[in-house]
Amino acid sequence: MAYLCTNNIVSDSESDFNVSNRSAYIAVFSNRRAYCSIVVVGNSGSDACFASHSGTNTIISFDDSTNTSVPVNTGSNTFNAFDDSADTCITFDTGADAFNAFDDSADTLITADDSTYTIFPINTGSNSFITADDSTDSSIPFNTGSDAFIAADDSTHACFPFNTGSDTFIAADYCADASFPVNIGSHTFFASNDILGSPTLPSFQTGLPTAASSGTNTPSVIGSGGSGSPVLSGTTESPAGTAESSQPVAAAPSVSPAPSAAAGGSSQPASGESSSSPAPDDGTGESSQPATQAATGPTVSPAPVAGSAESTQPSTLIEAAPTISPAPAALIGAPTSLPVFDSIDAFLVFALTDDESINVEGTAQNLAYKKVTESFPDLAVPGDEEEIRTIYALNTLFYATNGSSWRVRDGWTGPDPVCTPWYGVTCDDDGKVIQISLSENDLFGELPSEIRGLNSLGILDVSGNDLYGTIPSGISSLSLLQVLDYSNNFFNGTLPTEIGSLSSLIGFRANLNFHTGTLPSEIGRLTSLVSLEIEGNELSQQLPTSLGNLGALATLNLASNVFTGALPTEIGLLTSLKEMIIFENGFTAIPEEIGELGSLEIVRAYLNFFEGSPPTVLFSIPSLVELDLSENLLFGQIPSELLSSSTLKTLKLARNTFTGIALDGAADGVLEVLDLSSNSLFGPLPEQVGNMVSLQELVLFDNAISGELPENLGSLTGLRVLDMNTNQLTGPVQSAVLTKLQALEVLNLNLNFLTGPIPAELGEIVTLRELYLESNGLVGPLPNLAALTGLEILSLAGNVLGSTLGTDYTALTALKKLNLNGTGVTGPFPAELLSLPSIEVLILDDNLFSGSLPATGWETSPNLTEFRLSRNNITGTIPAEIATALSLETLHLSGNSALSGAIPLDFFTMFTLKDIAFDSTLLFGPLPPELGLLTNLERFNARACLFSGTIPLEFGSLTNLKYLNLGRNAPLTGLIPTELGQLTVLENLLLNENALTGPIPTQLGQITTVVEVQLGNNQLTGDVPEQICAVAADPSLLLDTLVVDCAVVCELETCCSECIEAA
């Protein structure tokens, strides 16, 4: 009888091709490694359909390939579990492992690689049908499972016309491929213009090809009647090739219809016999193999080189990709026709927006669709799909991110073509969008999934905006993306695993967002990645070992997350790494393998939990330039190897517990920055420090270094910063040493035990910008430093200088901060200080300045932000002209017991004020309601003044107020305003020692930030409101001091901390 073979289902009539018909016959492929062709199963004649074979090999294996009597293996993988072997051509297994064409996910019939078997046309199970790479499998026209059907680039595969799975069907570019007419999965099927751009698919009315179909949409078989492999082609021409080939071509699989039963001669064996391999087509229609199969369908084999005359290798070698005939049209689950796009919205729903949002009025998708149709009326389908998709994707981005409020939006709001240009959009010569750069452009909203429609995009930079939500998974469709930067936004959720599909990615930056979870292992797939930066998120747990796959990585920035554990040993595989920035995490160990990183230059690993001595493996890195292990748990002696390194220029080991430093060999090093601050170093500074001739910054503050500065320190002629504050240095300020440091810019000797005068020779170091000598035992007079015209900060507080401030200080035109607190300076307040053009901070508390505040000079201090003159001998009133200091934030005049008068009305135009201190002065009068206008005010202290009257209701407008002290005034009278309950960040409320009356307002219980409430020595009545007691009783809140009159009912143990008896 004659047989027609389609999709390897063998039958004597086309009606049997429906795979739901359990009487259909099947032909079983041999194992791919065996050299046998299709075994033709007969009908219920004299031939046993399933001849006995009790071996343990799977289906047809090596030993079965030449055995014509064993078309099926009924061994350990029981094909026919019981007595099916006597039945007439049992097409399916009725045993425990139910063989089912629609669900073989649980079938143990095939224990290894299903990809070589053609008997499973459909897999709808949850398990991966192909355990490894499905891309070479020609036997699976459908996959509805959850696993990725095509692992890599399936653009050349003709055997997968449909994919209904959830994973991306095409990973790369298949714009010229006619074999993928439809994808009904959730991901974009067409990465480019696959809809009408292919000459082999001119319409969407073509159904699936069947065994009998033909024409330009149906691939043909090379040759006439021969056994050559089918190829995907619109004609019967073979591709150009060489004349001979000794190897089969490892070509992509292709689809061909079966030839008719009468088509030419055949070189295949006839029924009942077998050959070890099918003969390759020699172009003549003849074969040297025995003719054991007459007039049957083609075998499945790799295509030989077109035009070759011979082939010495079997045609079914595993290296070659298999081919398959197209699925029968009647196959269950296969669509019988493809959609016709008669409108733009239908196309967009199909290609990019697969929900209803395009039809919902006001959505970004709806607005973008209107923009396409209204601003570009000439665009239509079919024909303009590429441009429609691009314009739609861009406009969806525009509307989803509040485009009308973008800082710059040129081109986005008009009818101009995309490449005319639009702001931030770059196109290539073919008019395809290859770059979007919209950093710091006030984008606000969520990144839409339609961004995946820009399939030629190489750079996407939306950093420095206000974007939020999650990163859309569809971004994995951007297979050409090289740079993805969305740093400094508000994205949350986990890092999408789909990023691992962006195989072209070179730079990935997601700094300063709110990502949580772990660093996905899929990141290890980005083998082209050069820069990985995710600083400032909330990622946690251990790093994946797959990081070791990133052999091209040069910059790794994982700082300011909550990663834990040891760095993986695989980090030693990152041989291109130059920067490893991992500070502010919970890492505990550095592996020895880091010593293999011969290109590593920068390691910033401060604020972790590294413990013990510095890892010695770091000393062996030949290229290391900067090492920062500050704020860890390191201790012991700092090894000399670090100081003598021939490459290391910056070493920071601050805030550990090192007790000593070995300077042997330091002269051989090139160290420029050495920061050992906040350790436990003690004893004199070694003379050898002067051998570090390359040193530019020496930072040793907060240790126990004692004695005098070593004379050899003067050898560091390139030193710019010397910071030894908070140590135990003694003796005079050694001008003979310091004046040799003619490059010195910062000298900080605060909080030591230095004695004697401040040497005038310091005025010879003309490079000085900052000079700190606070809190020593230095004595006056004040030196003349007028030559330091570049000096910006001068801090001499806490010494006993006791002289007047000379006019030479007016020459310090670069001075920004002057701190003479507690130095005993005398004389009238020098108004010339207000005329210093750069002055920002004047701290002159606790001195002996006398006289009135100047009425002039304030207007010449536009940069003055802080003016402190408390506890001096200032007299007179507050001048109204002080209001012309337009940047003033801090004004302290407290403790000037002769300062009097009312607060001038001009004062209330100083909206920059944050901190006012008038306590212990003679200021009087009612508290002005206009104080409520100073809405930036955080502290107001008017204790022990002569203010009278009531507390203004307008104080309730000071919503930034944290400290309010009106205690012990003339006194203040009346009720406590209920409006004070609006001060929701208030921490200290002191109204004691006045004559306030009435009940305590319940509204004060709304202030949950309060720490101290002083209401004693007033005339208040009633009970302490339960709302306030609830705040006091709540252990999660901070109220620990609540003092009232004893006349007010208050439980001392559960609410009040003290009550005051009336005087």
* Alpha-carbon dihedral 638, 642, 644, 650, rounded to 10 degrees: -110
H helix and E strand count, the chain: 6, 54
pLDDT in tens, 224-255: 333 333 332 333 333 333 333 333 333 333 33
Q: Is the residue at 49 inside a domain? A: no
CATH value at residue 1045: 3.80.10.10
571 has a pLDDT exceeding 90: yes
401 has a pLDDT exceeding 60: yes
1052 has a pLDDT exceeding 80: yes
Residues 175 and 194: beta-carbon distance below 8 Å: yes
d(CA 161, CA 493): 35
- How many CB atoms lie under 10 A from the CB of residue 205? 9
Q: What is the mean pLDDT of residues 613-621?
A: 86
Q: Which two tokens mark 1012? A: 């101290």
* Nearest CA among 373, 376, 303, 315 for reference residue 344: 373
Calculate the alpha carbon distances from 817 to 122, 796, 821, 867 in Å.
79, 11, 12, 10
Mean pLDDT of the chain: 75
Q: Is the residue at 520 inside a domain? A: no
842 has a pLDDT exceeding 70: yes
Collapsed DSSP state (helix, strand, coil) of residue 955: helix
* Nearest CA among 104, 240, 220 for reference residue 158: 220
* 76: CB partners within 8 A, 6+ apart: 56
Residues 773 and 754: beta-carbon distance below 8 Å: yes
pLDDT at site 640: 85
Q: What is the mean pLDDT of residues 799-814?
A: 88
59 has a pLDDT exceeding 50: no
pLDDT band at 357 (very low <50, low <70, confident <90, very high): confident
- How many residues does this entry show for the chain? 1063
Q: Is the residue at 1012 inside a domain? A: yes
Q: What is the mean pLDDT of residues 141-146?
A: 40
DSSP string of 765-824, one letter each residue: -TT-SEEE--SSEEE-SPP--TT-TT--EEE-TTSB--SB--GGGGG-TT--EEE-TTS-
Q: What is the mean pLDDT of residues 258-272?
A: 36
Cα-flanking dihedrals φ and ψ of residue 519, to 5°? -80, 115
pLDDT at site 822: 96
β-strand pairing of 633-638 with 611-612: parallel
pLDDT band at 768 (very low <50, low <70, confident <90, very high): very high
Phi/psi zone of residue 285: left (φ > 0), alpha (ψ -120 to 50 degrees), beta? left
Collapsed DSSP state (helix, strand, coil) of residue 471: coil
pLDDT at site 461: 98
pLDDT in tens, 451-503: 999 999 999 999 999 999 999 988 999 999 999 999 999 999 999 898 999 99
Q: How many domains does the chain have?
A: 1
pLDDT at site 708: 95
Q: What is the mean pLDDT of residues 395-421?
A: 92
The share of the chain scoring above pLDDT 70, in percent, equals 68
pLDDT at site 653: 96
Residue 552 buriedness (CB in 10 A; 0-12 / 13-18 / 19+):
middle
Q: Is the residue at 432 inside a domain? A: no
pLDDT band at 1063 (very low <50, low <70, confident <90, very high): low
Which range in 162-176, 258-272, 360-374 is most confidently predicted, on average pLDDT?
360-374
* 913: CB partners within 8 A, 6+ apart: 888, 889, 890, 891, 934, 936, 937
pLDDT band at 340 (very low <50, low <70, confident <90, very high): low
Residue ranges making up the domain that contains 947 = 927-1063
Q: Is the residue at 340 inside a domain? A: no
pLDDT at site 352: 85
Q: Is the residue at 726 inside a domain? A: no
DSSP string of 653-673, one letter each residue: --SSEEEEE--TTGGG----E
From 5-14, 748-757, 967-976, the region with the lowest mean pLDDT? 5-14
Collapsed DSSP state (helix, strand, coil) of residue 995: strand
Calculate the alpha carbon distances from 56 to 59, 330, 689 in Å.
9, 35, 79
Residue 262 buriedness (CB in 10 A; 0-12 / 13-18 / 19+):
exposed
pLDDT in tens, 491-529: 999 998 989 999 999 999 999 999 999 999 999 999 999
DSSP string of 372-440, one letter each residue: HHHH-TT--TTT-HHHHHHHHHHHHHHHHTTGGG-S--TTTSSS--TTTT-TTEEE-TTS-EEEEE-TT
Q: Is the residue at 1022 inside a domain? A: yes
Residues 721 and 698: beta-carbon distance below 8 Å: yes
d(CA 180, CA 240): 25
Q: What is the mean pLDDT of residues 708-722?
A: 95
Q: What is the mean pLDDT of residues 119-143?
A: 40
Claim: this prediction has a pTM higher than 0.85: no
435 has a pLDDT exceeding 80: yes
Q: Is the residue at 942 inside a domain? A: yes
pLDDT in tens, 185-198: 333 333 333 333 33
From 218-232, 270-284, 561-575, 651-665, the region with the lowest mean pLDDT? 218-232
pLDDT at site 339: 60
pLDDT at site 382: 84
Cα-flanking dihedrals φ and ψ of residue 390, to 5°? -65, -50
> How big is the CA angle at 155 (ends 151 and 158), to the nearest 5 degrees?
100
